[in-house]
Chain A
Amino acid sequence: MDFDNSKPIYLQIVEFFYENILIKDWQEGGRIPSVREVAMMVEVNPNTAIRAFNYLQDLEVIYNKRGIGYFVAEDGYSKVLEIKRKEFLEQSLPDVFKKMDLLNISFTELKNAYNEQKNEKK
């Protein structure tokens, strides 16, 4: 089993971007902080921050207007949503299933727990 609790810093910055976009702190088409500002915010080498920017640019989540700065793509929110959904279905869920098997938790039990939490929230 691979324990991946040691994600590279640039991917952790990517996650930070995703979160801001998903909670709509960063609006589609809106300007986002510069490389230097992000490097300062998360206290990393600017080269590391650039890696995160490039990564997100390749995925077309953000884009660069030369001389002006970086912006969230017009369909940035749905792009991120798609990426995170895929990640959940392909990575997080299989782990949950594996654990359910190991601990002998049935699907009904899971469903009950899910409904219970939903009700509590209401």
Chain B
Amino acid sequence: MLHIRDLYFNYPNQVSVLKSIDLNLDTGNIYGLFGKNGEGKTTLIKVITGLLYPKSGECRFDNIPTSQRYPSVLQEVFLVPEDFELPAVSVNTFATMNSKFYPNFSQEHFDSLLKEFNINPLKTIPTLSFGQKKKVLIAFGIAVNTSLLLMDEPTNGLDIPSKSQFRKVMAASVDKGQCIVISTHQVRDLHSLINHVIILDDARVVLNQSLQRISEVLWFGRASGQDKNEIVHSEGAFGGKTIVKRGEKDESEMDLELLFNGVLQERQTINQLLEHA
């Protein structure tokens, strides 16, 4: 659905923040986009949505460059940004105004999501807290039912019960026709939702794999003595947490934080294992 080829981007008079990016995003997946601060996650999202133009290379949605901002593409793409300003109108008016651009918008779905998030649609947006505003935007982003939905740090600003509500809502909302990209630092909040990991580092994609493939090849946990030669990455005290070649071991649950640190340090080893093992 979305194809990115050899994409470069830099802000004026600065070094490249995205270098040689190749990515394919497909429907039916929830992608987790990870990277340290300032590694280009938000920039990549802005390029995908056509808010920024690539310096070279291309980013195509159903074969149309997103930088051309065709209505037929824009109505199929929605971004829940990290920072946003919403107009001083009621929640309902906001939805009526903006849903015009999205033919698949469902008022019914929007209403039920607001209810789930405990937000009164008659309230004016400026009277809401930051977290509530964010929830309005998340609910709207889901209700417009675009084939590509991007969320930049969606759980920032959400209180503890809302994080769980958010996961429920997301789990119920993805259907086979949708592709969701969530960029985040809150690995623990979202780990159970995503099924594909993309890690950006040093302006490049350093890992792009399905969770299924990762747990086929790698094992996460405490290594035993006989695993010594199979250790790919380790950290922490008491023998610590390790990533080991899985071999004949039972499948383990992936530890995203550990994987993230592992990939930053042992990028080549891990990618070689994932590609060839």
Q: Do A and B bind each other?
A: yes
Residues of A within 8 A of B (CB): 1-9, 11, 36, 39-49
- B265 interface hit (Cβ, 8 Å): no
- Interface residues of B, CB < 8 Å — how many? 24
Tell me if B221 and A9 are in contact (CB < 8 A): no
Nearest neighbor of B224 in chain A, beta-carbon distance: A1
Tell me if A2 and B171 are in contact (CB < 8 A): no
Query: Which chain B positions have C-beta within 8 A of A4?
Result: 221, 250, 252
Tell me if B252 and A48 are in contact (CB < 8 A): no
Please give me the 6 A-B residue pairs with the lowest Cβ-Cβ distance, nearest first: A43-B167, A39-B171, A44-B192, A6-B253, A40-B172, A6-B252
Chain B contact residues: helix, strand, loop or mixed = loop
Choice from A8, A40, A43, A47 contacting B252 with Cβ under 8 Å? A8
- B213 interface hit (Cβ, 8 Å): no
- B53 interface hit (Cβ, 8 Å): no
With A6-B253, A7-B252, A39-B172 already in contact, the answer to whether A44 and B221 are too (CB < 8 A) is no
- B30 interface hit (Cβ, 8 Å): yes
Residues of B within 8 A of A (CB): 28-30, 164, 167-168, 171-172, 174, 192-195, 215, 220-222, 224, 249-253, 255
- Most A CB contacts (10 A, CB to CB) among B30, B174, B253 go to B253
Instruction: Give A36 to B221 CA distance when docked, in angstroms.
Output: 30
Tell me if B30 and A45 are in contact (CB < 8 A): yes
Tell me if B224 and A46 are in contact (CB < 8 A): no
Choice from B171, B195, B249, B251 contacting A43 with Cβ under 8 Å? B171
Instruction: Give A8 to B168 CA distance when docked, in angstroms.
Output: 19
Query: Which chain A positions have C-beta within 8 A of B29?
Result: 47
Q: Please name 18 pairs of A and B residues whose Cβ atoms are closer than 8 Å in the assembled complex, sorted by A.
A: A2-B221, A3-B221, A4-B221, A5-B221, A7-B252, A7-B253, A8-B215, A8-B253, A9-B192, A11-B251, A36-B171, A39-B172, A40-B168, A43-B164, A44-B171, A45-B194, A47-B29, A48-B195
